[in-house]
Amino acid sequence: MRAGLDTLLLGLIWGGLDGEAEHVDQGFFCDAPFVTYGVLLARSPDSVRELAATWEEVRPWLDGFRGAFDEHAAVPEGWLRDFDEFTDPVDDWGHVLSEAARRGWGLVGLSE
């Protein structure tokens, strides 16, 4: 379960444990090594299909993370205070991925 959720979040919003996760698919805009994208998310249709498939695998098991989230990640005064505030945007991303994959689209957006 965790590996699937990590894959999904790394592909969309999470920088990973080392902060080095890439959110722009290689060659999506250009291959120049000096171009940096900052908060840009750019996923090809193939990448979107892979992430959507990961979402479909993770979705039924997502609620199983509630206890671990409450124990290790909940911050009552933070940005994501509880498990529901975590899962709401994850679920929204899942819907976006599913619809984009169904249409054969890529994704381009800004993230924080």
Question: What is the end-to-end Cα distance of the chain in Å, rounded?
Answer: 25
Find the mean pLDDT for residues 24-51. 70
Q: What percent of the chain has pLDDT over 90?
A: 33
Tell me the CB-side half-sphere exposure of residue 45, using CA atoms within 13 A. Answer: 5
Say what the pTM is: 0.72
Per-residue confidence band for 34, with pLDDT thresholds at 50, 70 and 90: very low
pLDDT greater than 80 at residue 72: yes
Q: What's the CA gap between 80 and 87, in Å, rounded? A: 9
The per-residue pLDDT for 111 is: 57
Q: What percent of the chain has pLDDT over 70?
A: 71
